[in-house]
């Protein structure tokens, strides 16, 4: 049960109470202090120290030393640390979820969902810690054995965005830790408090585990320059960076230039197709959650909807009614479905996009400001568009759903794939041929392609990520762990002769 029902205390008071209950150490550093704000009211709720670039570099060096020790700990034992982290997260779920609501503006159930995702990935990683296995491969040489082994990689840098302020760290950290890596995290400047709280929970788990090398999991608060220090540091063989495509364009080439790995989780511009046989009740719910949930501030938010001509006139009025009636308000109130935008810049970007949509011949429903305290709140917008003009192909990180008619499935798939991003996608249909075509090689070109559910709200068991301008990275479930390890192929000769591969002769 969530202990918080009504917003009784001020946001600032609630924040301080949670930070003190979680034993948060605000850290230290000689960088410029960072002001944490709550989007619920727009007020400043805390000031926290940040690190300088030199301090960041020194912390990364310490994380490397931690890695050298941690890689020697057997993987199932490393899994025990992650199991304890999962326990701490379970125990602190209500507080951490509430802090996500206060700092990122997520509604209560989505704040809780984000922490649940952290718990789920810990469970996954604990099991994984006994399954980091490679192949044994048939060899052409007599009395030889060939196999793959997977070894810890090094310091894993994690750069995260404001909209999943804690889950993204856990998807990376839980895997990296069982893989034998150390982790250095640079969270969004907009969400330092949830990061501090998460670090405090890690430290509790580490204390219970005992003997964890200092610097195994390090939090670096700071601005872009701290992220850049992580990207540029020679001791960091992998950076997992989540954020805008603009950020990825800067980070990706720098990592490539020093031959480090990048795991890029960048912008999305996700679409869904509503086909003639779609179950409209289910479709309405799927579209509403995917497009309006998290106030349109998920990388997987539904932003483009292609509706078949045969049901457009039946479906649109229902969708408009849902948009007009959804409750926009304080995310702490349990009947709110759409909370605030993160800051005034988001509203400006939304207004600009809607103006552009109108200029392109679109008809806009909603999108107006809603007055709630002094935060930035908007009614989600539907924009009926004649064509997929440039504004539709751009990710505007706000609740705007562009709707376009189509007549032919191939045309709809082509429209969907025309976006430069390739994260998530969906089709609503009860036609088996259409569903299979959509998920086939000729269908959606995205990293996620769903049938009869929206593009938003992935679960941790699958590999998460997308193609094209989304960056190509995969994290979380399936075999994403392989990115956090290095692979060695070992050939062992247990005979007394030395047959060479490919029949080569070299007798000396
Ligand atoms: P952002 O790009 O502004 O910032 C993300 C992080 O990158 C921050 O920590 C920031 O300090 C850091 N950063 C920015 N420039 C950097 C640089 N040159 N070097 C190193 N670090 C740098 O993104 P945001 O506004 O916080 O988040 C919204 C964006 O993130 C959206 O585009 C959204 O689609 C995307 N996102 C993607 C995923 C995904 O999994 N694909 C998940 C969440 C968010």
Q: What is the CATH number of the domain that holds 252?
A: 3.40.605.10
Cβ contacts of 315 within 8 Å, gap of 6 or more: 274, 280, 283, 284, 307
Task: Tell whether 124 is covered by a domain.
Answer: yes
Burial group, residue 74, by CB count within 10 angstroms (0-12, 13-18, 19+)? exposed
* In the predicted structure, residue 402 carries a pLDDT above the cut 50: yes
For the CA of 224, the closest atom of ligand 1 is 11
Same domain for 244 and 278, yes or no, is: no
Give residue 3's pLDDT: 46
Same domain for 118 and 188, yes or no, is: yes
Give residue 5's pLDDT: 44
Find the angle CA(38)-CA(196)-CA(423) to the nearest 5 degrees. Answer: 75
| Pocket of ligand 1 contains residue 263 by CB under 6 Å | no
Task: Tell whether 6 is covered by a domain.
Answer: no
- Report the run of H or E that residue 401 belongs to, with start and end: strand 400-406
The pLDDT of 362-390, averaged and rounded, is: 97
Same domain for 227 and 276, yes or no, is: no
Distance 241 CA to ligand 1 centre (A): 7
Distance 164 CA to ligand 1 centre (A): 10
Closest CA to 374 of 111, 11, 5, 99: 11
Task: Tell whether 28 is covered by a domain.
Answer: yes
What CATH number is attached to the domain comprising 291? 3.40.309.10
Strands 136-137 and 144-152 come out as antiparallel
Rounded CA separation 265/76 (Å): 28
| Pocket of ligand 1 contains residue 240 by CB under 6 Å | no
Rounded CA separation 443/433 (Å): 11
Nearest residue CA, atom 35 of ligand 1? Answer: 243
Burial group, residue 259, by CB count within 10 angstroms (0-12, 13-18, 19+)? exposed
Task: Tell whether 459 is covered by a domain.
Answer: no
Q: What is the mean pLDDT of the chain?
A: 97
Cβ contacts of 398 within 8 Å, gap of 6 or more: 295, 296, 297, 341, 346, 347, 349, 350, 353, 378
Task: Tell whether 51 is covered by a domain.
Answer: yes
Give residue 430's pLDDT: 98
SS3 assignment, position 201: helix
Whole-angstrom Cα Rg for the chain: 24
Strands 467-468 and 421-422 come out as antiparallel
| Pocket of ligand 1 contains residue 412 by CB under 6 Å | no
Same domain for 63 and 207, yes or no, is: yes
* In the predicted structure, residue 1 carries a pLDDT above the cut 90: no
Same domain for 309 and 236, yes or no, is: no
The pLDDT of 405-428, averaged and rounded, is: 98
CA torsion sign for 150, 154, 158, 164 is: positive
Same domain for 58 and 189, yes or no, is: yes
Same domain for 262 and 276, yes or no, is: no
- Kindly state the percentage of the chain with pLDDT values over 70: 98
Task: Tell whether 462 is covered by a domain.
Answer: no
Quote the domain boundaries for residue 351: 270-451
Same domain for 257 and 280, yes or no, is: no
How many CB atoms are closer than 10 A to CB 400?
A: 26
Task: Tell whether 368 is covered by a domain.
Answer: yes
Q: Give the pTM.
A: 0.97
Same domain for 292 and 163, yes or no, is: no
Same domain for 281 and 250, yes or no, is: no
Catalytic residues: 265, 299
Closest CA to 297 of 444, 399, 403: 399
Closest CA to 341 of 116, 98, 162: 162
Same domain for 276 and 262, yes or no, is: no
User: Predicted confidence band at 7 (pLDDT cuts at 50, 70, 90)?
Assistant: low
Task: Tell whether 387 is covered by a domain.
Answer: yes
The pLDDT of 18-44, averaged and rounded, is: 95
* In the predicted structure, residue 349 carries a pLDDT above the cut 60: yes
> pLDDT tens digits, residue range 73-115?
999 999 999 999 999 999 999 999 999 999 999 999 999 999 9
Place of tokens 């759903």: 401
Same domain for 234 and 103, yes or no, is: yes
- The domain tally of the chain equals 2
């Amino acid at each position: 049960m969530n202990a918080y029902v009504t917003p009784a205390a001020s946001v600032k008071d609630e924040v301080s109470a949670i930070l003190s209950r979680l034993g948060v150490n605000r850290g230290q550093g000689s960088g410029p202090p960072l002001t944490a704000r709550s989007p619920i009211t727009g007020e400043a709720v805390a000031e926290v120290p940040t690190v300088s670039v030199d301090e960041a570099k020194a912390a990364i060096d310490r994380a490397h030393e931690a890695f050298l020790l941690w890689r020697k700990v057997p993987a199932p034992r490393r899994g025990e640390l992650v199991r304890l982290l999962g326990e701490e997260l379970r125990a602190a779920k209500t507080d951490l979820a509430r802090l996500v609501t206060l700092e990122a503006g997520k509604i209560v159930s989505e704040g809780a969902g984000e922490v649940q995702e952290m718990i789920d990935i810990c469970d996954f990683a604990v099991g994984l810690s006994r399954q980091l296995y490679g192949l044994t491969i048939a060899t052409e040489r007599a009395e030889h054995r060939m196999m793959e082994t997977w070894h810890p990689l090094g310091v894993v840098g994690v750069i995260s965005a404001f909209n999943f302020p804690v889950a993204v760290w856990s998807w990376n950290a839980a895997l990296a830790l069982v893989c034998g890596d150390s982790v250095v995290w640079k969270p969004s400047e907009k969400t330092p408090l949830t990061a501090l709280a998460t670090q405090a929970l890690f430290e509790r788990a580490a204390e219970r585990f005992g003997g964890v090398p200092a610097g195994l999991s390090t939090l670096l608060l700071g601005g872009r320059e701290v992220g850049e220090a992580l990207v540029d540091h020679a001791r960091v063989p992998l950076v997992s960076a989540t954020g805008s495509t603009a950020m990825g364009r800067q980070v990706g080439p720098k990592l490539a230039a020093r031959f480090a790995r990048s795991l890029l989780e960048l912008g999305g511009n996700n679409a869904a197709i509503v086909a003639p046989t779609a179950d409209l009740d289910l479709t309405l719910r799927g579209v509403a959650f995917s497009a309006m949930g998290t106030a349109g501030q998920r990388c997987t938010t539904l932003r483009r909807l292609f509706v078949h001509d045969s049901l457009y006139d039946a479906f649109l009025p229902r969708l408009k009614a849902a948009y007009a009636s959804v409750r926009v308000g304080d995310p702490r109130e349990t009947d709110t479905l759409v909370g605030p935008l993160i800051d005034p810049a988001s509203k400006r970007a939304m207004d600009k996009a809607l103006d552009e949509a109108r200029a392109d011949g679109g008809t806009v429903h909603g999108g107006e400001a809603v007055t709630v305290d002094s935060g930035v709140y908007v009614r989600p917008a539907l924009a009926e568009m004649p064509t997929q003009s440039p504004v539709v192909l751009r990710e505007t990180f706000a609740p705007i759903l562009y709707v376009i008619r189509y007549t032919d499935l191939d045309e709809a798939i082509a429209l969907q794939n025309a976006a430069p991003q390739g994260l998530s996608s969906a089709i609503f249909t009860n036609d088996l041929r259409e569903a299979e075509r959509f998920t086939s090689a000729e269908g959606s070109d995205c990293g996620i392609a769903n049938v009869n559910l929206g593009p938003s709200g992935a679960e941790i068991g699958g590999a998460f990520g997308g193609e094209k301008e989304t960056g190509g990275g995969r994290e979380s479930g399936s075999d994403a762990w392989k990115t956090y390890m290095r692979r060695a192929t070992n050939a062992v000769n247990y005979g007394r002769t030395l047959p060479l591969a490919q029949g080569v002769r070299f007798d000396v």
